[in-house]
Amino acid sequence: MEGKQRMEPQEGMERVKEDNLQEQVVLVDMNDQKIGCMEKMRAHEEGRLHRAFSVFLYKDDAILLQQRAKEKYHCGGLWTNTCCSHPRMGESVYQAACRRLQEELGIKTTDLEEIQSFVYRYTFENGLTEFEFDHVLAGEYRGTWTENPEEVEAVRWVKMKDLMSDIQENPEHYTPWFMIALKEVMEYVNKKLQAGKDSI
């Protein structure tokens, strides 16, 4: 697969253990104003609104998708955007996005732009509730990646038209927040592509 490498399992486990020491999420109100913090799993058990982010990397008319590791606490094995997680206390959304791209995929990039935000709530079959103020960032990327097997099952480039066709046929294969964010992301990418053509 183009661009694909694998982290050594021990390396991935060490990174996950480090993350587990800082598994606090930032609780916010409906205006994304900080009101406190809470242990991540407890926040999902109680359905508390917290700050999150979703990163979409694109190349021409394709988006880099991640299949979540099957052992994830929710949505294991589902396809989603390039990277998603939660900022730590004292960490900006942008800083957190850059950090998680490197931790999950070994990608070092600063070419990210926030293009939208939204609040969504979804209760999963295991009883956990995602109630998130989700910041969506996008950026062009043409490099390689190194999958962390503790976080990621697989990664692939998918053309947007093929992605939309598959979502229509198999919506259960994708995470709920991904499908909420995707329309505006595609509009953003298409505008970037058109601007590139106009400048030629």
- Out of 24-28, 67-71, 74-78, 186-190, pick the least confident: 74-78
pLDDT in tens, 8-19: 444 444 444 444
21 has a pLDDT exceeding 90:
no
- Residue 124: its pLDDT value, please? 86
Distance from first CA to last CA of the chain, Å, rounded? 31
- Residue 15: its pLDDT value, please? 46
Q: b/e string for 22-45 if b means 16 or more Cβ within 10 A?
A: eebbbbbeeeeeeeebbebeebbe
Domains in the chain with CATH codes: 9-198 (3.90.79.10)
The DSSP element (H or E) to which 138 belongs, if any, is strand 129-140
Average pLDDT over residues 82-109: 95
pTM over 0.75: yes
pLDDT in tens, 60-81: 999 999 999 888 777 889 999 9
Which is the catalytic residue, given 75, 83, 84, 98? Answer: 84
- Pull the structure tokens for residue 6: 């694998």
Average pLDDT over residues 148-176: 95
- Residue 32: its pLDDT value, please? 97
Which is the catalytic residue, given 103, 130, 132, 150? Answer: 132
- Out of 4-8, 73-77, 167-171, pick the least confident: 4-8
35 has a pLDDT exceeding 70:
yes
- Residue 72: its pLDDT value, please? 79
Sign of CA dihedral 57, 102, 79, 177: negative
- 84 flagged as catalytic: yes
Percent of the chain with pLDDT over 70: 88
- Out of 2-6, 74-78, 133-137, 165-169, pick the least confident: 2-6
Q: What angle do CA 168, 67, 38 make, to 5 degrees?
A: 105
- Residue 199: its pLDDT value, please? 64
The CA distance from 144 to 129, in Å, is 33
